[in-house]
Homo-oligomer: A and B are copies of this chain.
Amino acid sequence: MAHTHPHPENHLTSSAMLQDIVIGLSDGLTVPFALAAGLSGAVSSSNLVITAGLAEIVAGSIAMGLGGYLAGRTEVEHYDAELAREYREVQEVPHIERAEVDELLAEIGLSAATRKLAVAELTADPDQWVRFMMKYELGLEQPDPKQAPKSAATISIAYALGGLIPLSAYFLTATPTQGLLWSAVITLVCLLLFGYLKSRLTGQPPLWGALKMAGTGALAAAAAFWVAKLIAS
């Protein structure tokens, strides 16, 4: 029973890859699907829909992957900078940092007498003190520097694979209208399944999760179709 709540840090590490796959796949299934659907209402060549769809998949997976990689690197740099600052402050202005520890302990409901003991013990070791400030004052967990490139690659690949699913229908049909029909069927089934599984994994109501995911895709596709039709007509 004491282990029904895994520590958030462990939890994040173990499911980071799954989270990245979810991010990449859900966007990959949605945006290229909606773009291809939109163009289907405006052009008469499946080849054009495929060209635009593949260009979008490449652009999106680079933007998401590289963007995610750079954001991860920035997070590591930010953590290191804050860590260095806390070590400096603990050395240079220990009375202020001690008052901050005292304030955090008062917030959780400790009496002045207990706080006096606790502050003395907690601040006896600088490493322990800084670790406490990082986690409970700043709410920062140490990011894994290897996570950023792994995350970037996973999101990129998941986005591209997700995007190829709606696009595959246009390869296998003769006209954009037929392509759209099959693309919508395949993609909505995938979004329903995927939303269902994702919600099961994160402990959310799975049917509602399935509907949310498919609804977002359908709405984006309908809006793109309507806008493209309006311009083309």
Q: Which residue in chain B gives the minimum CB-CB distance to A60?
A: B31
Interface residue? A111 (CB, 8 A): yes
* Minimum-distance CB pairs A-B, first 4: A38-B55, A34-B59, A8-B139, A62-B220
A-B contacts, 10 listed (Cβ < 8 Å): A2-B100, A27-B63, A31-B59, A39-B52, A43-B48, A60-B220, A81-B203, A109-B124, A111-B121, A139-B141
Residues from chain B with a CB closer than 8 A to the CB of A203 are: 78, 81
Q: How many chain copies does the complex carry?
A: 2
Within 8 A of B (CB), among A22-56: 26-27, 30-31, 34-35, 38-39, 42-43, 47-48, 50-52, 54-56
Interface residue? A172 (CB, 8 A): no
CB–CB B93/A108 < 8 A: no
Q: Which residue in chain B gives the minimum CB-CB distance to A27?
A: B63
CB–CB A39/B55 < 8 A: yes
A59 CB contact (under 8 Å) in B35, B74, B131, B135: B35
Interface residue? A118 (CB, 8 A): yes
Residues from chain B with a CB closer than 8 A to the CB of A96 are: 1-2
Q: Which residue in chain B gives the minimum CB-CB distance to A34?
A: B59
Given known contacts A31-B63, A35-B52, A5 and B220 CB-to-CB distance under 8 angstroms: no
A54, A137, A232 interface centre (most CB from chain B within 10 Å): A54
Within 8 A of B (CB), among A65-117: 66-67, 70, 74, 77-78, 81, 93, 96, 99-100, 108-111, 113-114, 117
Residues from chain B with a CB closer than 8 A to the CB of A56 are: 31, 35, 38, 56, 224
